[in-house]
């Protein structure tokens, strides 16, 4: 069996590794470099929470990915900067506390391991926080890793298993063959690669590739941006988030007519909420980000960086003297209904999509790569995939 994977981000290289180790001939194509887009530009936060009693597909993507990072680091010996100290989502208001308490209680009933911390417990765990905060949600199984190192490590393992990764090549055409199989044309040389199956794992460019074969893949580009300080003495023990945006998004349910995904910080030019996530890297840099704007423009919005930095200072007063030394932005793949799209494309035998992981592609991508490999090889997934398979969501273009 021969498979072409389009996209060398975390999903694509994880899929390539899984397939290659199962004896499949795999070629990965990317117009840039391995981990050169969102997979290498994020904060490297990995969700945990625990498997619970009856894990759904979202839990499986998160915990399965965490397990793959552990295996990459501990069994394969790859230095990916893995840190297992957990994640804190900080609580500032009574309304946030009530929402967080209900969410944690629901997770605990499902057998998962999130904890609700009081202010005193929080300060004991993370002295850098404002002691006036009401508390935090602790994910003790939360982790972090270096995004570029981790994505490249998956790619190198895939190559060691027999996969081929070709970078700097743009897919200019994709077509199914009358007798079965696929042709993938790479420009400008118009090199043609044949395959029994094709996996589209191209982040926000999944829709562009779907259009080549007449299907609407409902994934749009959303700009995320981050800032980093100069290296600092150790000040943060955990990865840090805030409950503020989760509460705001709990009531955000856009309709199909809106043609926008949920969980954005802006609607056009109007800010809807602040979002926050970040950590201190092993090299001492403090990195944070948060804004999510539906656009293909990668230009950093410095006003948004200022808002994010102010949010950090508000929750972590010890960060006040620390200022951004560099900034960057990248494009994330958000599906219009907020659910990942992982599985076979209806009506096009041998074509598969793995995308729409939004801002948590790094945290859910390794397991998404394994899951799409199961679909390609005709294996029955271990979890109910009803909510993530393309189904009617990926339909013919009008």
Residues of the chain with CATH 3.50.50.60: 2-80+147-218+337-396
pLDDT at position 238: 98
Distances (CA, A) of 218 to 161, 206, 266, 300, 396: 33, 9, 19, 25, 11
Asked if 227 and 132 touch (Cβ cutoff 8 Å), the reply is no
pLDDT at position 234: 97
Kindly report the backbone phi and psi dihedral angles of residue 206, in degrees, each rounded to the nearest multiple of 5, phi listed first.
-60, -40
Q: In what order do the strands lie in the sheet with 197-200?
A: 164-167, 25-30, 2-6, 197-200, 351-355, 341-344
Residues of the chain with CATH 3.30.9.10: 87-140+220-335
What's the whole-number mean pLDDT along residues 282-304?
97
Kindly report the backbone phi and psi dihedral angles of residue 152, in degrees, each rounded to the nearest multiple of 5, phi listed first.
-65, -35
pLDDT over 80 at 256, yes or no:
no
CATH number assigned to the domain covering 2-80+147-218+337-396? 3.50.50.60
CA-wise closest residue to 387 among 344, 341, 345? 341
| pLDDT one-digit tens code per residue, 18-28 | 999 999 999 99
Residues whose CB falls within 8 Å of the CB of residue 69, separated by 6 or more in sequence, listed in order? 46, 80, 82, 143, 145, 150, 366
pLDDT over 80 at 255, yes or no:
no
Helix (H) or strand (E) holding 103: helix 94-109
pLDDT at position 251: 85
Query: What is the model's pTM?
Result: 0.96
100: exposed, middle or buried (Cβ count in 10 Å: 0-12, 13-18, 19+): buried
Q: How far is CA 109 from the centre of its chain?
A: 26
| pLDDT one-digit tens code per residue, 373-394 | 999 999 989 899 999 999 999 9
pLDDT at position 253: 81
pLDDT at position 252: 83
pLDDT at position 76: 98
Indicate the class that CATH gives domain 87-140+220-335.
alpha beta
Average pLDDT, the chain: 96
């Amino acid at each position: 069996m021969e498979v072409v994977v389009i996209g060398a981000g975390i999903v694509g290289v994880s899929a390539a590794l899984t397939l290659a180790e199962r004896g499949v001939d795999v070629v990965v194509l990317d117009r840039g470099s391995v981990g050169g887009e969102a997979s290498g530009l994020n904060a490297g936060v990995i969700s945990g929470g625990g498997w619970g009693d009856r894990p759904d597909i979202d839990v499986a993507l998160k915990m399965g990915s965490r397990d793959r990072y552990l295996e990459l680091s501990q069994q394969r010996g790859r230095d990916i900067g893995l840190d297992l100290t957990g994640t804190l989502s900080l609580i500032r208001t009574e309304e946030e506390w009530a929402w967080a308490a209900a969410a944690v209680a629901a997770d605990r009933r499902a057998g998962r391991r999130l904890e609700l911390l009081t202010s005193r417990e929080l300060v004991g765990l993370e002295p850098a926080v404002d002691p006036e905060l009401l508390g935090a949600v602790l994910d003790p199984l939360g982790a972090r890793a270096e995004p570029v190192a981790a994505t490249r490590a998956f790619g190198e393992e895939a190559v060691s298993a027999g996969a081929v990764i070709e970078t700097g090549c743009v897919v200019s055409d994709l077509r199914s063959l009358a007798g079965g199989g696929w042709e993938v044309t790479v420009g400008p040389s118009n090199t043609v690669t044949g395959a029994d199956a094709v996996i589209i794992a191209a982040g926000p460019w999944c829709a562009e590739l779907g259009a080549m074969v007449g299907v609407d893949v409902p994934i749009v580009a959303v700009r995320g941006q981050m800032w980093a300080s100069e290296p600092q003495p150790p000040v943060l023990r955990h990865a840090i988030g805030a409950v503020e945006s989760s509460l705001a998004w709990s009531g955000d349910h856009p309709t199909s007519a809106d043609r926008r995904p949920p969980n954005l910080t802006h609607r056009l030019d109007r800010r809807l909420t602040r979002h926050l996530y970040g950590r201190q890297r092993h090299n001492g840099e403090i990195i944070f980000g948060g804004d999510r704007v539906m656009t293909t423009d990668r230009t950093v919005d410095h006003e948004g960086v200022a808002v994010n930095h102010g949010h950090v200072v508000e929750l972590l007063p010890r960060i006040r003297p620390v200022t951004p030394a560099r900034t960057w932005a990248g494009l994330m793949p958000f599906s219009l209904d907020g659910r990942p799209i992982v599985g076979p494309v209806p009506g096009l035998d041998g074509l598969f999509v793995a995308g729409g992981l939004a801002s948590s592609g790094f945290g859910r991508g390794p397991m998404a790569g394994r899951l799409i490999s199961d679909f390609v090889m005709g294996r029955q997934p271990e979890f109910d995939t009803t909510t993530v398979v393309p189904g009617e969501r990926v339909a013919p273009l009008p």
